[in-house]
Structure 1
Amino acid sequence: MTRLLHHWLVAWGRNLVANRLLAGIATAGLVIGLAGAILMALVARVPLTYNHVVPAHARTYLAVSVVSAPGMVPDYQQKSPAGAAALIEANVGEVEAAARLLEAEAELRRGGTAQTEAIYWADPDYFDVARFPVLSGDLASALRSGHGLVMTEAMARKHFGRAEALGETIDVAGQPMVLRAVIADLPPGSTDLTAGIFASGLAARSGLALMQADQPGAFSITVRTYIRLRAGIAAEQAGKAIQPVIAGLVPPPVRAAYRLEPVRIDRLALHEGFHPGARERLVIGSVVALLVLLIATANFVNLSVALAERRRREIGIRKANGAGRGHVAGQFLAETVLTLLLATILALAAAEWLLPVVNGFLGTQARLDYVEDPTLLLLLLSAALLLGLAAGAYPALLLSSMPPAATIRGSDVAPAGGGRMRSALVTAQFAILIGLIIATSVVHQQRLFAMREALRMNIDQVLTVTAPCPAAFVAEAEGLPRVRAVSCSSESLLSGNTFLPLEWRGRQLVVHVVSALPSIFALYGVRPLAGTLSALPPHGEKTVTRVVINEAAVRAFGFASPAAAIGEALPVQGASPGGATGAQVVAVVPDFAFQSIEKPIEPTLYLPESPEIWNGGLVSVKLDGRDMPETLSRIDRLWRDTGNAGPIERAFVSEHIERLYASLERNAQLFAVFSGLAIFLACLGLVGLSLSAAQRRTKEIGLRKALGASTRQILTLLLWQLSRPVLLANLLAWPVAWWLMRRWLNGFAERIPLHLWLFPAAGLVALALALVSVATLAYLVARQKPVHALRYE
């Protein structure tokens, strides 16, 4: 067995050197395909193993707030009412334990050194719910006293200089606390927790202890509530039991629209409510990476057959000396596996080098750590071994069937079916390539549509300042030389998270509400479809008597047209203190929103309320685009000069839109990168095949030229034979790409049409790439003198 392995290694090495150009092309393609697949697997591994650091993650849930009503897209928040945990633990039999976390910034002081850290104020039994691996101390009782403290190993080293610091004291938010337990570090990006310090909520100055109850009729969600279900209890069952228990925490007008939904903590990363499209992006990215790997593997199989056909005499001599078909197949299979292992090692090195770039590009925190996770390397090498066996099986069996007599004579013998298989693999490669080109084009067009046409407003050079319309600042800002307009609105203009339940003609409706000065519409270039904005008081009113609605609200209230809605009175008595029983519709504006077009635009009421009764707000400042740095500096200085406390919080609306469509942007970039890799690999494989074909058909070309064929005719023949698989690939790619992209576009409430011209255009691009890749080589082969071709051996 040792001699056989030695023989395989020697034969593999010699053939790599003898055919280094084709072998290099085949191996390089594999390295690129494997590196892409490894990187995508590492990225996908993060959300698929999310919160697995908690041993009992399958029974640990986060109680998330969901606001939903007929005609309204559900709104998910990871926080919940502060009083929910105690009610659930005491009254819901399906729940074994419940506890709260409150994130806060706190000053930690020890030995004269002070640092501000993000911490969690935690209920005493929090670690009974979410059980983390403990390195030292008694985690179960660590927070049961008012001075108890738990840290991760990294935080303990940072603040105490060592991890073994149990019993040491540090001041947290002005009160001494004692380190009672140290837990393992939380892998970055793999858990919903962002802080590594847990302080007892029983402390006198803790955020939980100082938290005040909601006023009558008020409702707030402020804490993260974790629950652990009893064994065998389903989340749906627990959710139904929780709802009536927490009903008393919710004001009656909101009660029908609000619920607490238990979400398993290991499913938070891919939850559609928090990360719309995340699961789809993960699947799409994985499938595309797999397709690129298939292109690389198809290249490798094709070139392996081409390389092995050069070894006809070797195969014939071995068979004539008694080697059976199994021995020959075994050698070729072993050589394929060795090449795959070499390519995998190179791909791992490339993946490790590229991983920081990929993390920055996709906003992920994937890791490749052989020391902490040695099974990862074992899994990757095992996958490479299986891929090698799969990729090498066909060439090995095909080439081992070559007849010995013909191969020894040097006849141009090709294995039966080899040519057809090569054509089929090239067709599959270019079908994938054409599909990726179509997908890249569609995603890019949808991104442009979302960020431009779907907005239906002018956000160019609009700056927002987070503030409830400070009068002095607004008045002075209007006088700055590069400022075109200034207006104010509530924060819900951007967030869209303020809603109002209404009863309208016997129906229960939930509509979004935006408080705004009338000038906000002109600032964003929004013109009414019906009615007039001039009827609105320019500085708002304390008692709402007039209202502006959008087209979606026209449909929700059942009005026949925008004009028919003018003059109707809507029951918005809860919109402001002392509000009237009805507000007259004075204008209808087009549907516009600062939210993603993945969701339909909601029915929205724009209330011209006076800013003095707003709870928070935004100042929108329209700039003319010139002298931008100087203008921003003047605005910052003006903020301080007009007596506003704290640093100014400002951002361009375009930045909000970019963040909103960051995932769509990443989709477009991901498709572009993988399409580029697919183009490179397909063309690389085509070059390798044309090199092999040119050598294999040298005599045939010489005979054709000797019989009168011109260089142009030979060139046309070669290019046609290489182009046929590419043309056939269109028949496979077009229907599949149409079906997949139609489904993808259906995930958007507003979308571009799927243009039919994209499909032939993608086919022409693929054909042009193929012809450019092989044209030079085909021309050189076609213009050879017949005498050299006929003497070729």
Structure 2
Amino acid sequence: MWRNYLTVGVRSLMKNRAYALINILGLAIGMAACLMILLFVRYELSYDKWLPNSDNIYQLQTYYHDKQTGEDMNLQMSAFAAGQALKKDYPQVERMVYVSAGGFTVLRNGEAIAVDNGSMVSGPFFDIFQFPLVKGDPRTALKDVGSVALSETQAEKLFGSEDPIGKTLTLMLRGKPVDHRVTAVFKDLPKNSHMAFNMIARYDPATYWAEQPDFLTQWGWQSGWWYAALKPGSDPKVIQADEAAWEKRNIPDETFGDRKYNQGDDSDYRLVNIRDVHLGKAQNGAATPGNDRRTIVTFGVIALLILGMAVVNFTNLSTARASQRAREVALRKVLGAARKQLIVQFIGESIIVASIAMVMALALIELLVPAFARFLDADLDLHYFGHDGILLPVMALVLLVGALGGLYPAFYLSRFQPATVLKANRSAAETPGSGRLRNVLVVAQFAVSIGLIICTAIVYTQTVYARTTDPGYKREGLLQLTGASRRQVVPLSDTIVAEIARVPGVKSVGRSSIGIDTKNSSNTGISIPGHAEAVTIGTYAVDSKFFDTMGIRLVAGRSFDLGRPMDDATLPFPDDEAVERAFVARGANVVINELAAKRLGFRNPADAVGKQVKGGGFGTPDEMGLVPINIIGVVQDSRFRSIREPLEPIMFRMANNNRDAVLVRYSSATPDKVRQNVEQVWKRIVADAPFDGKFSEDIIQKLYKAEDSRAKTFAGFAILAVIVGCLGLFGLATFTAERRTKEIGIRKVMGARSRDIVRLLVWQFTRPVIIANLIAWPVAWYVMRDWLNTFDDRIPLGPTPFVAAGALALLIAVGTIASHAIRVASANPIRALRYE
């Protein structure tokens, strides 16, 4: 019996090769797209699951809520004091380690080598994170202050083929060379990790921060990540439930002018399992770019939609072609076949088609996955066996698709009444309602296709808008150097700027503690007379040439002037109490941006000029009182960070310290030559600090790289969905044209013109497309409105993408069936009617 079923199924496919090709090709594309998306989704969900004991390791995160604006800033970082208080209060915490943010400068043979993704840790790091070590003992590695562990790649860069264990590395820490002994080499971390380490050094926080002891006690200073390993069987929800009381016990009240405030009033702390960090709520202050669950769910839905469209094609073509097998079904029933046997036969044929399609799909995946992984910069591995093998899911998918695609045709075919079919001597039969079902499925297909086209257009337009919208400064012709706040660079900063200004092609040079996507964030409270609450404003140091160099336009008032002592807000480091008290007494002049003026209550920027407020942010202790702040100018708003983040109200002060970014404005037609000359100047003056210079266009491109990759991936799979839909429409159009050959012949004999026939056939398939638009538009509008709201600055959600997608879908449908319509309408009616 089974052999007979297989033989009949293969013969049926061979008899209708075009139908079989369309069915198999559509299913193969749908399955390949579905599996590739699911590989990506599985990869995104696998972050840090490879780490032993990952289910028991947690990151302490800080969530801020601005009561004035309603804005949230969720940080993966937390204050050093927060981790210490957590360990002190909860016996469930077995171990904790603090991991500092930043990188390292290594001195080797008189050369400064920058090491990205380098961190200092406060304790035995490998007691919590059981990284696979290539060399060294995890029990003793990083046990002592002054020890360092390297990744395999970094060890090879620094030591070549030599054994690095026991060797000495000189690290520049706070401007001083400090020797460290290499005690371990660990395997390069996989890409599916929220952590990124090339070098890990053990340090003593108390000694390192001796000049700035406030770092160890202030709850508002985040510059690293706390990780906790809980004791087996401990429930983090118990700790979380006590969070409010824990904050009250540990976070001290502070004085801001004549007001008291508490850092815990605007912040919450969460223990988040490391497997949930990558897709978690907190994405600010991350060591590596994260993702959000909404994106992953979206891709998962797209995978199911594409697969669903392929199954719909299968069902449509199967029901359409199945009517041609009426006599076969009738004869089988006359010879004693039960309905159950017929259902099994046709579902079996469906599974055969699904199996052939899956083989083609796997071939496509083998070819495309390497390029797909490189494009997404992800470790997408295709394995058939093992815990991450896809063999069982593939087999399940074949059975599922085969059953879904063949279930309705099987029940539909088995309904034919043999007496009716054989009495009429018909080889074809149509079950009532099957045509309506096909129309409903075609509408659903095109609703999905149109919706995906609309979403793709909006996502792509928003991505382009993010890269090209006016940021409030001139992006072109700008070179940014970072690392100017290093201790060994600061004393030579003026010399560096003066020498860079002499480089041919350089127009101006400015310095700032905020640059293009420099990640750092600093804010303070501004006290306004008559307001109960202080206004939170970002505060950053700049020099007198910063605004001109960046191309930031002055809206009202004046800019900083080196000839006016009140403009200079520089304070000595280390702290000098006498100088600080004098500074608090005299106050300082500042420039603010337009948003800061609005937040401070001024209706127009000009109204803010000449006004005085009080606040901090200058580095003076709070107990000395608030600093009188005179607003001397207002500049236009500038967006230094991602378009997803809220625009920041900023207060600029002119100071010579804490300026990490050097901005170089050039007018040369050969920017690479300018960069090369600037690098030579840097290395000549500060040989012990690595040069890090990037063009602003490259920084922006990297900033939106993940957004751009997701948009292109989304577009690629949307195109595949449209292709799958077109294949189904093409098959149905072919079938319909064949079935209506005699009808068309009669119409032509009765006087119908070819264009009338073409219009009749085209309208039959364009009507479902029009209905699909009415379904897709509101759904796409709702989804895209929600997505665009995740951006602080976004494109308007106008009618253009909706109308364009509808027109494109209509054009695709007409183009798909037009060739059949024209061919049938142009045929000689005698051929269709010769036997009638």
Q: Tell whether the 8 Å contact from 2:142 to 2:183 is kept in structure 1 after alignment.
A: no
Q: Please state whether the residue corresponding to 2:240 is helix, strand or coil.
A: helix
Q: Please state whether the residue corresponding to 1:64 is helix, strand or coil.
A: strand
Distance in 2 separating the partners of 1:272 and 1:233: 17
Does 2:324 match 1:310? yes
Instruction: State the partner residue of 1:410.
Output: 426
Distance in 1 separating the partners of 2:597 and 2:535: 12
Deviations 1:136-190, CA, capped at 9 Å, x for gaps: 99977887688999999999999999xxx9xx975475777777xx99x787223
Instruction: State the partner residue of 2:823.
Output: 780
Distance in 1 separating the partners of 2:814 and 2:376: 34
Does 2:643 match 1:597? yes
- The AA in structure 1 aligned to 2:508 is A
Distance in 2 separating the partners of 1:617 and 1:209: 24
- The AA in structure 2 aligned to 1:61 is Y
1:374 Cα deviation after fit: 5.4
Instruction: State the partner residue of 1:236.
Output: 240
Q: Tell whether the 8 Å contact from 1:711 to 1:782 is kept in structure 2 after alignment.
A: yes
Deviations 1:694-737, CA, capped at 9 Å, x for gaps: 22222222222222222121111111112111111111111111
1:781 Cα deviation after fit: 1.0
1:59 Cα deviation after fit: 3.8
Instruction: Name whichever of 677-686 and 98-107 sits farther off.
Output: 98-107
Distance in 2 separating the partners of 1:97 and 1:335: 60
Q: Please state whether the residue corresponding to 2:58 is helix, strand or coil.
A: strand
- The AA in structure 2 aligned to 1:89 is K
Does 2:541 match 1:541? no
Question: What does 1:355-370 correspond to in 2, within 5 Å?
Answer: 355-370=369-384
Distance in 2 separating the partners of 1:303 and 1:270: 41
- TM-score where L is the length of structure 2: 0.82
Does 2:206 match 1:190? no
Instruction: State the partner residue of 2:228.
Output: 227
Q: Please state whether the residue corresponding to 1:463 is helix, strand or coil.
A: strand
Deviations 1:237-277, CA, capped at 9 Å, x for gaps: 35446545664799999845666532221110112321676
Q: Tell whether the 8 Å contact from 2:206 to 2:213 is kept in structure 1 after alignment.
A: no
- The AA in structure 2 aligned to 1:513 is T
Distance in 1 separating the partners of 2:771 and 2:81: 65
Distance in 1 separating the partners of 2:683 and 2:95: 49
Question: What does 1:509-548 correspond to in 2, within 5 Å?
Answer: 509-533=535-559, 541-542=568-569, 545-548=588-591
Instruction: State the partner residue of 2:281.
Output: 272
| Match for residue 262 of structure 1 among 271, 287, 294 | 271
Instruction: State the partner residue of 2:496.
Output: 473
Q: Tell whether the 8 Å contact from 1:477 to 1:635 is kept in structure 2 after alignment.
A: yes
- The AA in structure 2 aligned to 1:662 is K
Does 2:632 match 1:586? yes
Distance in 2 separating the partners of 1:304 and 1:106: 66
| Match for residue 32 of structure 1 among 17, 29, 36 | 29
Q: Please state whether the residue corresponding to 2:509 is helix, strand or coil.
A: strand
Instruction: Name whichever of 20-29 and 215-224 sits farther off.
Output: 215-224
Question: What does 1:253-402 correspond to in 2, within 5 Å?
Answer: 255-256=263-264, 260-274=269-283, 278-373=292-387, 375-402=389-416
Distance in 1 separating the partners of 2:99 and 2:614: 38
Question: What does 1:113-132 correspond to in 2, within 5 Å?
Answer: 129=128
Q: Tell whether the 8 Å contact from 2:675 to 2:693 is kept in structure 1 after alignment.
A: no
Q: Tell whether the 8 Å contact from 2:76 to 2:282 is kept in structure 1 after alignment.
A: no
Q: Please state whether the residue corresponding to 2:60 is helix, strand or coil.
A: strand
Deviations 1:64-111, CA, capped at 9 Å, x for gaps: 3555543474545544455655543233245343234568769999xx
| Match for residue 95 of structure 2 among 72, 97, 101 | 97
Question: What does 1:557-636 correspond to in 2, within 5 Å?
Answer: 557-575=600-618, 581-607=627-653, 609-610=654-655, 612=656, 614-624=657-667, 626-636=669-679
Change (3 A) 1:169 1:586: closer
Q: Please state whether the residue corresponding to 2:674 is helix, strand or coil.
A: helix
Q: Please state whether the residue corresponding to 1:547 is helix, strand or coil.
A: strand
1:383 Cα deviation after fit: 2.8
Change (3 A) 1:217 1:385: same
Question: What does 1:724-763 correspond to in 2, within 5 Å?
Answer: 724-763=767-806
Q: Tell whether the 8 Å contact from 2:167 to 2:181 is kept in structure 1 after alignment.
A: yes
Instruction: Name whichever of 359-368 and 330-339 sits farther off.
Output: 359-368
Distance in 2 separating the partners of 1:276 and 1:455: 24
Instruction: State the partner residue of 2:471.
Output: 455
Change (3 A) 1:315 1:719: same
1:10 Cα deviation after fit: 1.9
Question: What does 1:672-711 correspond to in 2, within 5 Å?
Answer: 672-711=715-754
Deviations 1:715-768, CA, capped at 9 Å, x for gaps: 111111121111111111111111111111222222222112332222111101
Deviations 1:633-663, CA, capped at 9 Å, x for gaps: 3222333344554442111122222233233
Q: Tell whether the 8 Å contact from 1:412 to 1:696 is kept in structure 2 after alignment.
A: no
Question: What does 1:44-55 correspond to in 2, within 5 Å?
Answer: 44-54=41-51
Q: Please state whether the residue corresponding to 1:270 is helix, strand or coil.
A: coil
Deviations 1:290-314, CA, capped at 9 Å, x for gaps: 2222222211211222332332332
- RMSD over equivalenced CA pairs, Å: 4.1
Q: Please state whether the residue corresponding to 1:311 is helix, strand or coil.
A: helix
Q: Please state whether the residue corresponding to 2:796 is helix, strand or coil.
A: coil
Q: Give the unaligned 5+ runs of structure 1.
A: 110-114
- The AA in structure 2 aligned to 1:445 is T
Q: Please state whether the residue corresponding to 2:441 is helix, strand or coil.
A: helix
Q: Tell whether the 8 Å contact from 2:78 to 2:226 is kept in structure 1 after alignment.
A: yes
- TM-score where L is the length of structure 1: 0.86
Change (3 A) 1:363 1:150: closer
Instruction: State the partner residue of 2:480.
Output: 464
Distance in 1 separating the partners of 2:107 and 2:494: 38
Distance in 2 separating the partners of 1:140 and 1:476: 50
Q: Please state whether the residue corresponding to 2:640 is helix, strand or coil.
A: coil
Q: Give the unaligned 5+ runs of structure 2.
A: 109-113, 170-178, 284-288, 571-586
Q: Please state whether the residue corresponding to 1:671 is helix, strand or coil.
A: helix
* Equivalent residue pairs, number: 771
Q: Tell whether the 8 Å contact from 2:323 to 2:430 is kept in structure 1 after alignment.
A: yes
Instruction: Name whichever of 281-290 and 526-535 sits farther off.
Output: 526-535
Distance in 2 separating the partners of 1:151 and 1:489: 33
Instruction: State the partner residue of 2:57.
Output: 60
Instruction: State the partner residue of 1:112.
Output: none
Deviations 1:602-648, CA, capped at 9 Å, x for gaps: 221111x23x3x22422212223512333333222333344554442
Deviations 1:330-360, CA, capped at 9 Å, x for gaps: 1111111222233223323322332222222
Change (3 A) 1:156 1:249: farther
- The AA in structure 2 aligned to 1:503 is S
Q: Please state whether the residue corresponding to 1:507 is helix, strand or coil.
A: coil
- The AA in structure 2 aligned to 1:510 is T
Distance in 1 separating the partners of 2:144 and 2:676: 50
Does 2:540 match 1:503? no
Deviations 1:560-592, CA, capped at 9 Å, x for gaps: 322221111132454156999322112222322
Identity %: 31
Q: Tell whether the 8 Å contact from 1:454 to 1:597 is kept in structure 2 after alignment.
A: no
Does 2:459 match 1:436? no
Q: Tell whether the 8 Å contact from 1:518 to 1:537 is kept in structure 2 after alignment.
A: no
- The AA in structure 2 aligned to 1:192 is H
Distance in 1 separating the partners of 2:189 and 2:359: 26
- The AA in structure 2 aligned to 1:98 is M
Does 2:485 match 1:488? no
Question: What does 1:2-13 correspond to in 2, within 5 Å?
Answer: 4-13=1-10
Distance in 1 separating the partners of 2:18 and 2:605: 70
Q: Please state whether the residue corresponding to 1:450 is helix, strand or coil.
A: helix
Distance in 1 separating the partners of 2:718 and 2:499: 52
1:488 Cα deviation after fit: 1.9
Q: Tell whether the 8 Å contact from 1:519 to 1:538 is kept in structure 2 after alignment.
A: no
Deviations 1:27-78, CA, capped at 9 Å, x for gaps: 1111111111111111111232322234544442112355554347454554
